[in-house]
Amino acid sequence: MTDQSLRGVLIGCGFFSDNHMNAWTRQDGVTITAVCDLDEVKAEATAQRFGVKTIYTNAQDMLATEAPDFVDVATTVGSHRALVELASGHAKTIICQKPFAETIADGEAMIAACGASGSTLIVHENFRWQRAFTVMKAMIENGDLGSLHFAQFSFRHDYDNYVNQPYLAEIERFTIMDVGLHLFDLARHFLGEVDTLSCTTQRLNPIVRGEDAFTAMLVHTSGATSICDCSFYSKVAPDPFPQTLARIEGDQGTLMLGQDYRLTLHTGSGAREIDAAPAVPSWGGAPWQGVQDSVMRFQNHAADVARGQADPAPSGADNLKTLALALAAYDAAETRSSITMADWQ
Ligand code: NAD
């Protein structure tokens, strides 16, 4: 790979994979040589939409034949461990959608498999790559807020997700594993590791099996606190889906991310608006542009990782700590207790 061009393959041609493919096919020096789905019709449809030459219904066959530089796993979580373990023997860079694993044991096995074969595991955690959060991170690193003591990451809406992702209504562990992972990653990204965690879950919409709302409070090792809250049953007009609203406070100022990506810096001398709106990709549109733009940013980063030009953000090992928070949040909710992460499991 002297010219830095990359050959990749995609596994899983479902709902969200269109974003992956739209982003890959617009990246310089990246070619998706083949796509795979257990469902041949879906693989064929994706190949046709994005001009991919070859389709497979068996990942093993695809990996053995294509010998790719990277593998992009865009299936749902139940297949992640087997696919990442398989892929680790065939490519130097493995990208796996969130939730990266269902259990800590699975996550550890996936990390170990990649470590043993010398491949790099990167988790498709795109929220920290949303434009507003990259702007906020840069401002905080610049010292604009001073020393941080509080944050809130809030994802509340009433959008009908069950049309595109019907499995969400059927899974026993729903919003913490679906959105909580993103919010906990943001909390760790901005405030660092977590000392204790408490959480309450709610089942509001009778059509869902698992919890469709939760409220978690995290105490970080720095002493800062954060609230991560989510609801798929909140009536707001216009509906903010799929935006995360946020507030981060430090001793020098507060950043507030409001609806429609309105970011404001508050300090002792007043408030200032900052441009944080994502670009609308040529292939995208409302309400998805924030997510679509973040997929472009994340996959640009993943390509840099595959070229050896960046460290994975987040790596599998890093994302395991976020997964631990999500799994501990269920235990906290069930036992109505605060969990000390160092003692958990
Ligand atoms: P989906 O069910 O629509 O698609 C998954 C596809 O994977 C299906 O077509 C299925 O046939 C295929 N598949 C499953 N096992 C396979 C295997 N072993 N080999 C080949 N193909 C296989 O799911 P989706 O809604 O596209 O979600 C996929 C993943 O993306 C999930 O983990 C979900 O949590 C995640 N997701 C992430 C975001 C985000 O913002 N990061 C948003 C939506 C979904």
Output the residue whose Cα is nearest ligand 1's atom 25: 15
Ligand 1 site, residue 17, Cβ cutoff 6 A:
yes
12: three-class secondary structure by DSSP: coil
Q: Is the interface score ipTM higher than 0.85? A: yes
Cis peptide before 314 (omega within 30 of 0): yes
- Predicted local confidence at residue 147, as pLDDT: 98
Output the residue whose Cα is nearest ligand 1's atom 32: 76
Q: Encode 120-150: b = buried (16+ Cβ within 10 Å), e = exposed.
A: bbbbbbbbbbbbbbebbeebbeeebbeebbe
208 C-beta neighbours (distance < 10 Å), count: 20
Q: How far is CA 315 from the centre of its chain?
A: 12
Which fold, 6-124+298-313?
Rossmann fold (3.40.50)
Distances (CA, A) of 13 to 10, 68, 180: 8, 18, 24
- Predicted local confidence at residue 345, as pLDDT: 85
Of all atoms in ligand 1, which is nearest to the CA of residue 165? 25
Integer Cα distance of 274 and 330 in angstroms: 36
Output the residue whose Cα is nearest ligand 1's atom 14: 75
Ligand 1 site, residue 292, Cβ cutoff 6 A:
no
Q: Could you state, in order of their start, the residue ranges of all structural domains in the chain?
A: 6-124+298-313, 128-277+322-343
Ligand 1 site, residue 76, Cβ cutoff 6 A:
yes
What percent of the residues of the chain are helix, what percent strand, and what percent coil, each to the nearest 5?
40, 25, 35
Beta strands in the chain (DSSP E): 6-11, 30-36, 54-56, 70-73, 93-97, 120-124, 148-156, 194-202, 213-220, 225-231, 245-250, 254-257, 262-267, 270-275, 339-340
Does residue 156 contact residue 233 with C-beta atoms inside 8 Å?
no
- Predicted local confidence at residue 2, as pLDDT: 38
Ligand 1 site, residue 165, Cβ cutoff 6 A:
yes
Ligand 1 site, residue 294, Cβ cutoff 6 A:
no
Does residue 123 contact residue 98 with C-beta atoms inside 8 Å?
yes
Ligand 1 site, residue 295, Cβ cutoff 6 A:
no
Pocket test residue of 72, 81, 97, 292 for ligand 1, highest count of atoms within 8 A of CB = 97
Q: Give the alpha-carbon dihedral of 103, 108, 111, 112, to 10 degrees.
A: -140
DSSP 314-345: TBHHHHHHHHHHHHHHHHHHHHTS-EEGGG--
Ligand 1 site, residue 107, Cβ cutoff 6 A:
no
Query: 165 C-alpha vs ligand 1 centroid, how far in Å?
Result: 9
Output the residue whose Cα is nearest ligand 1's atom 3: 14
Output the residue whose Cα is nearest ligand 1's atom 23: 14
Query: 340 C-alpha vs ligand 1 centroid, how far in Å?
Result: 32
Distances (CA, A) of 345 to 99, 135, 182, 339: 19, 36, 22, 10
At 291, list the tokens: 């997510």
Query: 265 C-alpha vs ligand 1 centroid, how far in Å?
Result: 37
Query: 3 C-alpha vs ligand 1 centroid, how far in Å?
Result: 31
At 155, list the tokens: 């994802």
- Predicted local confidence at residue 3, as pLDDT: 56
Work out the widest C-alpha separation in the chain, in whole angstroms. Answer: 62
Does residue 72 contact residue 9 with C-beta atoms inside 8 Å?
yes
Query: 42 C-alpha vs ligand 1 centroid, how far in Å?
Result: 12
Give me the average pLDDT of each 10-residue run along the chain (345 residues): 81 98 97 98 98 98 98 98 97 98 98 98 98 98 98 98 96 98 98 98 98 98 99 97 98 98 97 96 93 98 98 98 98 98 95
- Name residue 92's amino acid: K
- What is the second-level CATH architecture of the domain 128-277+322-343? 2-Layer Sandwich (3.30)
In terms of residues, how long is the chain?
A: 345
At 195, list the tokens: 């000392």
- Predicted local confidence at residue 1, as pLDDT: 43
